[in-house]
Amino acid sequence: MPGPPPILQLKPGHPEKMKGEIDPSSMAVPPSRPAKIKPIHAVKCEDGLVRPPWAVTDLLLRNYYDTEWGVPVRDERGLFERLSLEAFQSGLSWVTILRKREAFRRAFKQFDPDIVAAFDEADIERLMADPGIVRNRAKVLATIQNAQATVRLRDQGGLAAFIWSFQPSTTPAPKTMADVPTTSAESLMLSKALRENGFTFVGPTTLYALMEATGIVDTHLIESHRRGSSGVWAS
């Protein structure tokens, strides 16, 4: 017959443990990983120009910042495209959307609202099978719905005039990224107004990003070489 189980020898100061029980104090505890801190200060680049930190991490972002971000967009198709891409960007990085932008344009027929408004189930299935875009069914359906709403909005002067009517009387003057708002009273009102007109995926944060990107507000950092470049706001 087997003998009695061996007596567990405990070190002084250790509470008594049942056989097989793991002593937590004997386990190696990995060091906690410090939270990644996002840079907030303007960056002077090798070309001597100052840019925000988000625009210096990728050449595609840098070119977008230097040539397009913050430039006024006042036409229907251009604003419908930007509104659609901002919606697709939700939960993703903007550089991901930029890398897929040409594929988005092909898939959504250059974001012509009249064509997109007429998309049917076959078009939806085509889009959901397209690896070049973000294949999120809710966002695809929202883009079609927003195209239909854009066409209807022509009776009120059109999408461009509607969105620009929410331009604020002043614009932020951020020294660092910490000073840049993510929403505003105007983006909240615009969100409500667009929803009332049949748009979806138009939350106030998404719309504030749209307002920044299309020159409706100027959130270029004060030191940035692009501050005031829109012609809408003084530098």
pLDDT at 234: 76
> Rounded to an integer, what distance in angstroms lies between the CA atom of residue 162 and that of residue 87?
18
Q: Which CATH number applies to 48-66+74-213: 1.10.3720.10, 1.10.340.30, 3.90.1330.10, 1.20.120.790?
A: 1.10.340.30
**Does 13 have pLDDT greater than 50?**
no
pLDDT band at residue 30 under the 50/70/90 scheme: low
Domain ranges in the chain are 48-66+74-213
Q: SS3 of 43, please?
A: strand
Distance CA 208, CA 163 (A): 11
pTM: 0.84
- Distance from CA of residue 188 to its chain's centroid? 17
The set of catalytic residues is 64, 86, 94
> CA neighbours within 13 Å on the CB side: how many for 69?
24
Radius of gyration of the chain (CA): 26
DSSP letter assigned to residue 197: T
Residues counted in the chain: 235
Average pLDDT, the chain: 89
121 alpha-carbon distance from chain centroid: 28
Q: What is the pLDDT of residue 105?
A: 98
Residue written as tokens 């397009």? 68
